[in-house]
Structure 1
Amino acid sequence: MKFSSLKKLISPTVSIQGKIFVAFSLVTLLGIVAVTSIVYLYMRETVKNNAITSVTESIRQADESLNLRLEEVSRLNTVVATNKTVLDTLLSKTEEPSYEWFQEQKRIEEFLSALIAYKPYISRVAVIGLNEKVFFVGSPWLDKNILFTPMMDDLLQNGSGHAYFHQTGFNNSIVTGRELRYNRNLIGMVMFDLNDEIVRKIYDVKPTSDSMLYVVDRKNEFIYQPSTSALDRETIIKLNQELNGTDGSVERIINQTSYLVVMRKSEYTGWSTLALVPMKSLLTETARIRHMLATVAIIVFIIIVIGTLQVSSRMTRNIRRLRSMMMHVMEGNMSLPTVEIHSKDEIGQLYQVFKSMVEQLKRLLEGIMTTEKEKREAELAVLQAQIRPHFLYNTLNTVKYLAKLNGVPNIVEVSESLIELMRGVLGNTNEFLTLQEELQYVRSYVTIEKYKYVEPVHLMIEVENDELLQLSVLKLMLQPIVENAIIHGLSASECEGEVLIRIYEESKELRIDVRDNGRGMSKDQIKALFEANTNTRFSGMGVRNVHERIVRLFGEPYGVFLDSEPDAYTTVQIRFPMITRSEQEG
């Protein structure tokens, strides 16, 4: 990979600082939106509930205030209905005009005037007899024609307790009446008129400037309605019928405008009071609060974004430093910048690991350079000291030919064995060869070595199965063992030396036992033989080298194992896997 491509791969498209900044900003934004929304909805609901409570309480106070007046008037009705003067006057036979009639009128009017004194909300009190006697105090004028009006019929029909009638027209008023009886016989009616002004004062409840309040009696007649109304009479009556006198509050959309409708029904009069407050006006304050919350949220978000930018920059400062160091090393500069990272977090730990890795890489590069230099020097030395194998073969063949001419068979045998041995060792560059080829090297080596000793050396080879000879073994695996047996085992022996090589298969392994009848070794000598790297003279590899080569390639339990008894024998066993030539080549 080219440096530019590698640099492009390492360079991040989105920095960690950017990711932290975006993540913190999104979380903050969601948090602020959630909190402000919850606060706004809570405050909106609180304002709405407070408005409902306030309007309901205002209506309740207005109803109770009117009920107090009506109860007071009811008691006055009772006083009049039980007054003996009133009853005697209505039962008397006097006729108008007469002196007695004027006396009766004076007495009743004085009595009635005393009753309504200091009662400014009572505009008129009247006593009406069914015998067409009419007495009243206040205004407007009243005569016997009242007996034939719908109002009188309604009062007489419901006047057993207390009856109410809303009189409309020139003089709006609330009329409350009670029937007069003598000996259980109906003889007349007492009426009190409450002026309309007191009703307006009592029900002048306006939570907002555009709110509306209506008082409707059981006959769907308006006891009170605002002077200016955005809704018509039929809409209010229909709404009153839908709510069916249920106390409480609901939200209704009327004429495409949302209203909060608060209703209360008076248990005393049975009148329904409906307050309609436009939601838009009611929530004007919440709109201001919403704007304020939005402004505060934006300011807080900007402050948090700026803080997040600073925090993310400080958090990723060491990461940027570490990345700069990596880019510096990637460009081939193995010396780290002087600025170090002293934090104790994961970035600091990564810096320490990276620093150690760079130092180790630097040492490895220096070692590679040294090794390459030594390798070149060794190659030069090998080239300088190299002798071509065919030149050595030709020279040995010349020696062999001269020995034959001079009739020296021993030199001929040694020369042939050396030629065979050198051809196999120098000409074959493979690491593996067949067991048969390895045994041939051993025979050639023993042939050369036997002329060095006074007593002859006998080599015997026993093969359990000829197929074992075609198995692959390591090159020069057996020769060092035989050489070690001759040099260290048989050289000091005073008798003829014997080396027995036994080849067999056991536990699906190739077993090769090399046994000599030399002086043997103690356990300490055997241990020292594996610990010290004692090399042979021919190949330079000792028993330990052979063992390590086998174990390194195939692992345990393969290798070289020794068994010896001093002054008796030494047996070296080689354990090797069963490898055919095809398996070795594959």
Structure 2
Amino acid sequence: MKFFSVKKLVSPTVSIQGKIFVAFSLVTLIGIVAVTSIVYLYMRETVKNNAITSVTESIRQADESLNLRLEEVSRLNTVVATNKTVLDTLLSKTEEPSYEWFQEQKRIEEFLSALIAYKPYISRVAVIGLNEKVFFVGSPWLDKNILYTPMMDYLLQNGSGHAYFHQTGFSDSIVTGRELRYNRNLIGMVMFDLNDEFIKKIYDVKPTSDSMLYVVDRNNEFIYQPQTSVFDKAVITLLNQKMSGSDGSVERVIGQKSYLVITRKSDYTGWSTVALVPMKSLLTETTRIRNVLATVAIVVFIIIVIGTLQVSSRITRNIRRLRSMMMHVMEGNMTLPAVEIHSKDEIGQLYQVFKSMVEELKRLLEGIVTTEKEKREAELAVLQAQIRPHFLYNTLNTVKYLAKLNGVPNIVEVSESLIELMRGVLGNTNEFLSLQEELQYVRSYVNIEKYKYVEPIHVKIEVENEELLQFSVLKLMLQPLVENAIIHGLSSSEHEGLVLIRIYEENKELRIEVRDNGKGMSKEQIDALFEVNKVQTNTRFSGMGVRNVHERIVRLFGEHYGVFLYSEPDTYTIVQIRFPLVPGTERKGQEE
């Protein structure tokens, strides 16, 4: 037996395992990408910050190292500017060439040589008088023409404390100078030249091989710059922007490449140091780490995907088993496979419910088969019963005619009463009939029963209103009560029996009382009549007792209606029926 369309049930859908696999894979992929990106960005930012810190610290150390040398040179300037021999020589009237001039030159050169003897970063020291007297130690050669150079003009204008000038040409160097005064009158200048290699060693701080470092003075003149530099103008532009005059770092695109620009201004010299670090070179290590992270992420994702496939398969294994069982049952097989689901989760509970449902369905199907079999048997019995009443009626009619022919009136009366009673019981299929018809069945029954007893039985019927006889009542509702009164009430009575049937209306209800003057009943006997488990077997005709009539009425109309007994032992018994006023309805004709 098939209950569903298999094609409809197994229409193409995404399995639960597939959904779990896709969901886990997507969540894992998003998580791995997010974590990898965060780690990479964090490392990139960390490397960048470390580079900024490292370069800034290196520049700071280079500036401090240069400042120490410049402070030392400044003190030497002061020594020269306050030396009496130097001042006297510049103020003397000797002229070149003369023996006195030669002696002065020797004394000053000895003094200057001793002053810079252990200063390898000083390439030349010179004392220049405005009277065109020039004395120097070191190289390159120097003469009185120096007085008419831009460098000399700059030093004279700014050399009240100390001034710095970047000299380019044959030998690049940093020139620091200080004025020579006597009695507040400017008489000359002392100059110290610092060699270019000294500057290069101090500022040789590169985080990467292609980094570039620039040192620019207050006039935007380069003190130090790479030999192959193409970004001089860009550096000057950066210094003239917001970054000028302050320390800091920023990313800039220069020449279509991204650079990390770090600046620092020296408080001592006023020079600005600018470092250009290519981001590509700076992040080379992070790029390698990014590639490693990507490789690890891919491997981890593959492992998790394989694990997710296994886990989802294990999680949905019982679901697939349950689905297989349902398909098995859907094909009409009521016996479940031997494989059971023992898990304690919702799937296990669902399996138990499904198992119980299949067992109940199996039981119902077996019941349907049994019912169908009984129905066929009942149909056969009905066919047989349709024949039996006619045969019984014909037989009783034959008995009645024979009794008439032989002059036996009592047999005729019993036969007629039995025919009438059987016709109403077997021929009338309606559940309801009129009260008048029910009373006729009672009369027929009494006509049969009276011949069994020695003492006569009198049945009296009192009707308050003839219209009540047209109301409908349950078929065989009154006959069992009369039967019970005759058999139990009057059969053992020593005096002549009387059964009074009283019909009246009260509280808009149909009341029927069956009263007998028999031996009566005790309370225990009354209770026994209504016991559910006690079958009434003393009713000789209908097989229905007082309890059956009561239950039929209560089942149809409620507890307010039914059968009620009142009895006094050895005196009387009253059985009262309370029935609603049911109008008479058109009934089916009785079968002949």
TM-score by length of 1: 0.85
1:79-106 deviation per Cα after TM superposition (whole angstroms, max 9, x unaligned) = 2222222233333333333333222222
Give the distance between the partners of 1:448 and 1:155, measured in 2 at CA: 161
Are the structure 2 counterparts of residues 230 and 418 from structure 1 closer, same or farther at C-alpha, using a change threshold of 3 Å?
farther
1:458 alignment counterpart = 459
Alpha carbons 2:260, 2:279 under 8 Å: kept: yes
Say yes or no: does 1:241 pair with 2:243.
no
Task: Return closer, same or farther for 1:176/1:391 CA change in 2, 3 Å cut-off.
Answer: same
Q: In the aligned structure 2, how far is the partner of 1:199 from the partner of 1:578?
A: 130
What amino acid is aligned across from residue 458 of structure 1 in structure 2?
A: V
The residue type equivalent to 1:81 in the other structure is: A
Match status 1:205 vs 2:208: no
Counterpart CA distance in 2 for 1:276 and 1:576 is 114
| Residue 373 to residue 170, structure 1, CA distance change in 2 (3 Å) | same
Aligned to 1:534: 536
Q: In 2, Cα distance between the equivalents of 1:161 and 1:571?
A: 146
Pairing 1:167-186 to 2, within 5 Å after superposition: 167-186=167-186
Given the superposition, is the C-alpha separation of residues 527 and 266 from structure 1 closer, same or farther in structure 2, using an over 3 Å criterion? farther
1:489–1:516 CA contact under 8 A, matched in 2:
no
Residue 159 of structure 2 aligns with an amino acid whose one-letter code is G
| Alpha-carbon distance between aligned partners in 1 of 2:174 and 2:584, rounded to the nearest angstrom | 129
Give 1:300's aligned residue: 300
**Which residue does 1:33 correspond to in 2?**
33
State the percentage of identical aligned residues: 82
Instruction: Tell me which moved more, 314-323 or 282-291.
Output: 314-323
Whose relative contact order is higher, 1 or 2, with alpha carbons under 8 Å and at least 6 apart?
A: 2
Q: Which residue of 2 aligns with 1:138?
A: 138
Q: Is the 8 A contact 2:470 2:584 kept in 1?
A: no
Report the Cα offset of residue 40 of structure 1: 1.6
Equivalenced residues, count: 580
Letter in 2 for 1:209: S
Q: Distance in 2 between matches of 1:225 and 1:499?
A: 142
Rounded to whole Å, the distance in 1 between the matches of 2:380 and 2:291 is 89
8 Å contact kept, 1:515–1:569: no
Whole-angstrom distance in 2 between the partners of 1:574 and 1:23: 74
Q: Matched residue of 1:488: which SS?
A: helix
Q: Gaps (5+ residues) in structure 2?
A: 588-592
Which position in structure 1 is the counterpart of 2:499?
A: 498
Within 5 Å, give how 1:290-369 maps onto structure 2: 290-369=290-369
Write out per-residue CA displacement over residues 192-226 of structure 1, whole angstroms, 9 at most, x where no aligned residue.
Answer: 11112221222223222332222222211111221
Following the alignment from structure 2 to structure 1, what is the Cα–Cα distance between the partners of residues 387 and 197? 141
State the 1:53 CA deviation.
1.8
Greater mean deviation of Cα atoms: 431-440 or 99-108: 431-440
> Structure 1 residues 204 and 403, CA, compared in 2 at 3 Å: closer, same or farther?
same
C-alpha distance in structure 1 between counterparts of 2:423 and 2:29, whole Å: 86
The more displaced of 323-332 and 104-113 is 323-332
Equivalent-residue separation in structure 2 for 1:100 and 1:579 (angstroms): 166
Provide closer, same or farther for how the CA distance between residues 527 and 173 of structure 1 changes in structure 2, counting only shifts above 3 A.
farther
Q: Which amino acid aligns with 1:236?
A: V
Q: Give CA-to-partner distance per residue, 1:205-259, whole Å, 9 cap, x none.
A: 322233222222221111122122343x322211112112321211122333222
My pick for the range that moved more, 193-202 or 401-410, is 401-410
SS for the counterpart of 1:387 is: helix
Cα distance change of structure 1 residues 180 and 459 upon mapping to structure 2, 3 Å threshold:
farther
2:590 equivalent in structure 1: none
- The answer for unaligned runs of 5 or more in structure 1 is none
CA distance in 2, matches of 1:192, 1:574: 144
The 3 A distance-change label for structure 1 pair 521 and 278 is: farther
**Aligned in 2, Cα 1:61/1:551: closer, same or farther, shift over 3 Å?**
farther
SS in 1 for 2:5: helix
> 1:482 touches 1:499 (CA, 8 Å); kept in 2?
no
Give the 3-state SS of the residue equivalent to 1:117 in structure 2: coil
Shift of 1:464: 8.1
Counterparts in 2 of 1:160 and 1:395: CA distance versus 1, 3 Å: same
1:344 Cα shift?
A: 3.7
Cα distance in 2 between the residues matched to 1:391 and 1:181: 167
Sort the Cα spacing of 1:527 and 1:286 in 2 relative to 1 into closer, same or farther, 3 A.
farther
Q: Which whole-Å CA distance do the structure 1 matches of 2:584 and 2:364 have between them?
A: 39
Contact 1:166 1:173 in 2 (8 A): yes
CA distance in 2, matches of 1:401, 1:503: 40
Q: Secondary structure at the match of 1:238?
A: helix
8 Å Cα contact 1:251/1:261 also seen in 2: yes
